[in-house]
Amino acid sequence: MSSRTSIADAERMKSKETEVETGIEDSAGGPLSDTVALLAEKWDFQGLQSPSQESGKETGRDNRGQGNQRHPVGIAHLPNELAIEILSYLLPIDIIAFFRSNKLFVLLWADMPRVWGRAMQNVPELPPCPNSLNDKSYLLLLFSQTCSTCGVSVSVEMDPYSMSRLCESCSNTPVNKSAPEVNPEQARAVSVFIQKEHFAREKEKKKKIALFQSEVNHRLMNMNWTRETMEFGPWSIPHSKSAFDELTSRPESLTDEIWKDIEPKITVLLRNNYEARVLEENKKARKASLLELLAGLESQVSPKLRFKFHHPLSSTLGYVSSSPYRPFPDIATMLDWPIIKDLLETDYPVKEIIILFEKNQEAIQNLVAEWKHRIESRFANLVRHGRGSHVSGDSLQSTWLEPEKGSDPFADLTDDHKLLLRADALFYDTSSVFPNLLLTYGTILHQERLSGSSTSSSNSALPQSLLYFDQYRVCPEVQAMARALMASMQIPNASYLELSAIGAGFRCERCHELPFATWEQLVQHFTATSNIFKEMHSGLSGASDGGITYRNVHDPTLQIDRPLVGYYSIDSREKVGEMREVIAPEWAILRHTVDVHGIAEPIVNEHYSYQRTWGYTTDYGTQTYSLIPMDIPFF
């Protein structure tokens, strides 16, 4: 068939069509590839017009017989051999898009085996066509995103083991026709090829998105937007970041037309984000100012106290004790108070924040006093309930503590606070993994962040007014044992501050099981061993069947020629020896520098430094300052 005959037949076929597809789209509904778009430009797809369209341009004129009649130009009017030669250089996906761009092309060349056979050679590592399919069907199945049964567009990958690509409707429809037999090895090869193609497409897509984003950023920076002002963060309006990404993450080239469409939307998002960021930065500045003001308030309401400690067996003056924990609300609690919340949430300048804070300082101090009263009365009532009505007196007397200014260190404390500082005011935590571990009031303040230690930060998750402390209990037996031990040491009104300052310097003089212990561990030891004795010998009346007498040596009322409590001795430098590095609690290091090296006030980072350790440390280089496990309050 000559080229003239082919063209005439094609145009006759075309004239029978009621509608010609003029949209140039690929199988996925998007624009054609660059290759096909180039062909459209070179060979004038739009020149392929129907007879009715051509006659419409020449209404009322008879063009027959005119020698200068214009013939449509384009690839459709080339000889078949030349057209096939041109198409043979295209990839299968381009050929599919090319044929679907116009029905005329489908009628001309869609079934030409040479086109599809040559196209297969243009795809690297393409597995050979299965025997059950021809080249055209195989390539359409691989590269055409359409259902192989009904022809609708789908986004699923083909199934290499059934050689089909089905939409959801067709995949759920039972068919009687058996699937073509596929060689398993060939199916695996096709599966590997599909995965490689998928990764290649994703890589190309990411590359195009990155290029699109880069061009958008370049245009925005030309509009005086900076990288900082284009950054989204916690301050941003919800979903604004996703909306920005949706506008700026397209796998296509950024044209002026696209920019004209997205630029106003992007500008609105960036402007709103900038305003939100300014508000957040102002709020941070107000919060920083409030933190500083509240820290100053803490130093006024709960001034720090420093003590010098006289160890019973030290030949020199003891170390300078750090200030005991005193109840003070943390920043999360105070920010929950309306008067503070208003200062933080209202967009005041920092200077005005300071003025308003000073104006309301008395009211804030009253709130702090009320909060402290609730905390102290709660724990003090627990202690009084555990002591019973027969035990009276909340007196507190310093024995081994000497305040720096020489005055009574407990003079300005409330009765509740004095009671809680007594050495017999011991608690236990029923929710802890160590429920028998005894805790002082200071330890509870510290671990529950009730001592103002977190005022300078904002790590508290909840206001302390919303926290409950029902897990803390007191044991009457423990309190009674602690008072008995204090009386035996002739310090009946001592505070836990001075006994805790000794660290693991106590030992039990009634048995060999506790060579060194802290005050809390000492009380726990005497209480536990007494209870064990009572349980084991509850059926005995002073003697066993063999006539052997059993006595509870840990009973404070038992009069024998041994004291209840002793002190762990401090070895001299000559006896201990030289250690290059020792890790220990701060109290142990301070005691060591005072007793061994004669340094009354050790300086951090000069005589010792802080080290972060995980878990319990039981060996500090010498037995002198060793602790038994679970000495939590001193870590």
Per-residue exposure over 262-281, b if at least 16 CB sit within 10 Å of its own CB, e if not: eeeebeebbeebbebbeeee
- Containing H/E element for 472? strand 472-473
The predicted pLDDT at position 609 comes to: 79
Give the list of residues 6+ apart from residue 85 with CB closer than 8 angstroms, or none: none
Lowest mean pLDDT among 107-121, 322-336, 603-617, 618-632: 618-632
With tokens 């500083």, the residue in question is: 292
Radius of gyration of the CA atoms of the chain, in A: 44
With tokens 């726990």, the residue in question is: 524
The predicted pLDDT at position 439 comes to: 92
Residue 219's pLDDT band, with cuts at 50, 70 and 90, is: very high
Does residue 157 have a pLDDT over 80?
Answer: yes
Does residue 469 have a pLDDT over 90?
Answer: no
The predicted pLDDT at position 77 comes to: 67
Residue 164's pLDDT band, with cuts at 50, 70 and 90, is: confident
The predicted pLDDT at position 183 comes to: 82
Query: Is 236 or 7 the better-scoring residue by pLDDT?
Result: 236
Q: How far is the C-alpha of 451 from the C-alpha of 576, rounded, in Å? A: 37
Q: Express each pLDDT in 354-384 by its tens digit.
A: 899 999 999 999 998 898 888 899 999 999 9
DSSP state of 223: T
> 27, 144 in Cβ contact below 8 A?
yes
Lowest mean pLDDT among 91-100, 177-186, 509-518, 622-631: 622-631
Give the list of residues 6+ apart from residue 360 with CB closer than 8 angstroms, or none: 339
Lowest mean pLDDT among 13-27, 543-557, 610-624: 13-27
Q: How far is the C-alpha of 144 from the C-alpha of 25, rounded, in Å? A: 12
Distances (CA, A) of 464 to 229, 334, 347, 430, 451: 37, 9, 26, 19, 11
* Beta-bridge mates of residue 164: 159
The predicted pLDDT at position 266 comes to: 95
> 631, 616 in Cβ contact below 8 A?
yes
Query: Is 220 or 502 the better-scoring residue by pLDDT?
Result: 220
Residue 270's pLDDT band, with cuts at 50, 70 and 90, is: very high
Does residue 496 have a pLDDT over 80?
Answer: yes
- Containing H/E element for 309? strand 307-309
Q: How far is the C-alpha of 144 from the C-alpha of 151, rounded, in Å? A: 10
- Averaged pLDDT of the chain: 75
Question: What are 502's two structure tokens?
Answer: 């000794």
Lowest mean pLDDT among 11-25, 338-352, 473-487: 11-25
DSSP state of 328: B
The predicted pLDDT at position 173 comes to: 80
Query: Is 212 or 498 the better-scoring residue by pLDDT?
Result: 212
Q: Express each pLDDT in 571-607 by its tens digit.
A: 544 544 555 566 776 766 776 676 556 677 778 778 7
Does residue 464 have a pLDDT over 70?
Answer: no
DSSP characters over 395-415: ----SSEEETTSS-TTTTS-H
Does residue 209 have a pLDDT over 90?
Answer: yes
Residue 474's pLDDT band, with cuts at 50, 70 and 90, is: very high
What is the C-alpha end-to-end distance of the chain, expressed in Å? Answer: 98
User: Beta-carbon neighbour count of residue 368 at 10 Å?
Assistant: 22
User: Beta-carbon neighbour count of residue 126 at 10 Å?
Assistant: 18
Winning range, highest mean pLDDT, from 64-78, 402-416, 471-485, 550-564: 471-485
Residue 406's pLDDT band, with cuts at 50, 70 and 90, is: low
Does residue 224 have a pLDDT over 70?
Answer: yes
Does residue 479 have a pLDDT over 70?
Answer: yes
Alpha-helical segments (H) within 101-239:
103-109, 113-121, 135-143, 168-171, 184-222
Sequence ranges of the domains in the chain: 3-60+68-144, 204-290, 318-475
> Averaged over 416-423, what is the pLDDT?
90
Q: How far is the C-alpha of 284 from the C-alpha of 353, rounded, in Å? A: 12
Residue 468's pLDDT band, with cuts at 50, 70 and 90, is: low
Q: How far is the C-alpha of 335 from the C-alpha of 355, rounded, in Å? A: 18
With tokens 């056979």, the residue in question is: 117
Asked whether the CA dihedral 177, 142, 109, 50 is positive or negative, the reply is: positive
Percent with pLDDT over 70 in the chain: 67
> Averaged over 146-174, what is the pLDDT?
85
Residue 447's pLDDT band, with cuts at 50, 70 and 90, is: confident
Lowest mean pLDDT among 7-16, 299-308, 309-318, 376-385: 7-16
Helix (H, G, I), strand (E, B) or coil at 191: helix
Helix (H, G, I), strand (E, B) or coil at 425: coil
The predicted pLDDT at position 52 comes to: 39
Distance of CA 485 to the CA centre of its chain: 49
Percent with pLDDT over 90 in the chain: 21
With tokens 């003079």, the residue in question is: 411
DSSP state of 389: T
The predicted pLDDT at position 580 comes to: 57
Question: What are 431's two structure tokens?
Answer: 């929710």
- Containing H/E element for 506? strand 506-508
